[in-house]
């Protein structure tokens, strides 16, 4: 969950809720609805992403089939507005051709090639169980989120970052460290305070150890994104389409598709931009990772794996003596799988 490094002015939650509701398409489909067979127009009507072409997007189509292969309960889309969270924009204090470091991100990202831009991204992972890290201060909050997204790696004017995943937190409750889990999404926009707010999905419910599928597909006009989250362990799924935010009532932003990323993050709480402590989440195995890129001039698509991905190590600066310590490290497993590991 990402935002600018500055305090945000007070926001009217009811006004923000209306803006979000106006940008969403999501209707529970009728009983017996099968996304694998449904016409594309019905998928669009109910807020599903378009079904990939098995000829031109075989890996994406295969993942789509996994996502909807079993009998599922399509839950009603509902959400809660969360307090703002903030992390500094992705910056590096050191980088190499294949490995970079960050105060708040750990994971992997890829960039498009040959004049293409990303149009879809997907993965599956098991929800980790957070524990207090060594040396935790009594009463502290230890926050983490696991997500996929587009465009978080590029600093450009009014850049955007649609992102989607789960949160695994430890927060004090009557003095007792208490875990919480939920699904969330956010369409962050540089310079717009109203887009600094992560949005909690009421469903599907998230539990430690659940197998989660996340999928995002960019609309043909680049001004909207379809989201699907399936809790494979419970057989529950939520799908919705969100139109891109529009600055000051103007034309909506468009997804540039300049990067696709798979991330374990530790957010911050404004107005302090310092990331919160990362809980000891153990490991997260990002499996079946993939993305589709499209040439906007010709319409030709190409599927991408993690081959050539850049890996991101998360670090903190310790004192006495001052030193840099890595706290979460990604490890590649093959061209579609990697894991992040708490250190």
Q: What pLDDT is recorded for position 222?
A: 95
Q: Kindly report, residue by residue over 83-139, the tens digit of the pLDDT.
A: 766 544 454 444 566 899 999 999 999 999 999 999 999 999 999 999 999 999 988
The one-character DSSP state at 276 is P
Q: What pLDDT is recorded for position 93?
A: 43
Going by pLDDT thresholds of 50, 70 and 90, the confidence category of residue 157 is low
Residue 270's SS3 state is coil
Q: Kindly report, residue by residue over 220-263, the tens digit of the pLDDT.
A: 999 999 999 999 999 999 999 999 988 776 788 899 999 999 99
Residues 259/150, Cβ–Cβ less than 8 Å = yes
Q: What pLDDT is recorded for position 95?
A: 58
Measured CA angle at 104 (ends 131, 343), to 5 deg: 45
Q: Kindly report, residue by residue over 260-288, the tens digit of the pLDDT.
A: 999 999 998 877 788 999 999 999 999 99
Q: What is the dihedral of CA 159, 164, 165, 166, to 10 degrees?
A: 80
Q: Model-level pTM?
A: 0.92
**Long-range CB contact pairs, 250-254, < 8 A, 24+:** 252/223, 252/224, 253/158, 253/160, 253/189, 253/223, 254/221, 254/222, 254/223
Report the mean per-residue pLDDT for the chain. 89
Write the secondary structure of 88-151 as one string of H (helix), E (strand) and C (coil).
Answer: CCCCCCCECCCEEEECCEEEEEECCCCCCEEEEEEEEEECCCCECCCCCCCCCCECCEEEEEEC
Tokens 């998928």: give the residue: 43
CA–CA distance from 44 to each of 26, 49, 223, 239, 242 (Å)? 9, 7, 15, 11, 12
Q: Provide, rounded to the nearest whole percent, the portion of the chain with pLDDT above 90.
A: 74
Tokens 């017996």: give the residue: 32
Residues 30/114, Cβ–Cβ less than 8 Å = no
Partners of residue 291 on adjacent β-strands:
121, 304
Residues 166/189, Cβ–Cβ less than 8 Å = no
Mean pLDDT computed over 63-91: 80
Instruction: Name the nearest CA neighbour of 261 among 169, 340, 170.
Output: 340
Cα-flanking dihedrals φ and ψ of residue 310, to 5°? -90, 135
Where residue 31 falls (left for φ over 0; alpha for ψ -120 to 50; beta otherwise) is beta
Q: What is the largest CA-CA distance in the chain?
A: 63
**Assigned token pair, 233:** 């362990």
pLDDT at 326 over 60: yes
pLDDT at 1 over 60: no
Better-predicted residue by pLDDT, 208 or 7: 208
Q: What pLDDT is recorded for position 16?
A: 80
**Assigned token pair, 200:** 């909690």
Q: What pLDDT is recorded for position 8?
A: 43
247, burial (CB in 10 Å: exposed 0-12, middle 13-18, buried 19+)? middle
Going by pLDDT thresholds of 50, 70 and 90, the confidence category of residue 302 is very high
């Amino acid at each position: 969950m990402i935002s600018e490094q500055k305090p945000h002015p007070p926001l009217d939650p009811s006004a923000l809720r209306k803006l979000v509701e106006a940008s969403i398409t999501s209707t529970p489909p009728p009983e017996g609805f099968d996304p694998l067979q449904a016409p594309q127009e019905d998928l669009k009507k109910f807020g599903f992403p378009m079904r990939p072409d098995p000829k031109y997007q075989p890996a994406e189509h295969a993942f789509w089939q996994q996502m909807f292969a079993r009998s599922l309960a399509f839950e009603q889309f509902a959400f809660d507005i969360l307090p703002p969270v903030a992390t500094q924009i992705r910056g590096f204090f050191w980088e190499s051709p294949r490995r970079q470091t960050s105060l708040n991100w750990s994971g992997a990202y890829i960039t498009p090639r040959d004049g293409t831009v990303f149009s879809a991204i997907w993965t599956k992972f098991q929800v980790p169980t957070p524990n207090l890290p060594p040396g935790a201060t009594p009463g502290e909050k230890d926050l983490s989120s696991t997500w996929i997204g587009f465009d978080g790696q590029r600093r450009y004017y009014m850049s955007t970052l649609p992102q989607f995943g789960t949160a695994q937190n430890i927060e004090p409750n009557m003095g007792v460290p208490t875990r919480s889990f939920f699904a969330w999404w956010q369409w962050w926009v540089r310079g717009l305070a109203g887009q600094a707010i992560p949005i909690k999905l009421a469903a599907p419910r998230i539990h430690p150890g659940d197998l989660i599928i996340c999928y995002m597909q960019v609309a043909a006009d680049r001004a909207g994104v379809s989201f699907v989250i399936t809790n494979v362990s419970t057989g529950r799924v939520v799908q919705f389409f969100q139109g891109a935010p529009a600055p000051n009532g103007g034309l909506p932003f468009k997804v540039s598709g300049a990067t696709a990323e798979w991330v374990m993050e530790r957010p911050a709480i404004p107005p302090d931009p310092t990331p919160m402590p990362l809980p000891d989440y153990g490991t997260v195995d990002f499996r079946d990772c993939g993305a589709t890129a499209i040439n906007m001039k010709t319409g030709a698509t190409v599927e991408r794996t993690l081959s050539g991905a850049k890996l991101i190590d998360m670090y903190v600066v310790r004192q006495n003596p001052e030193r840099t310590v890595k706290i979460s490290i990604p490890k590649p497993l093959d061209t579609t799988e990697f894991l992040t590991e708490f250190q």
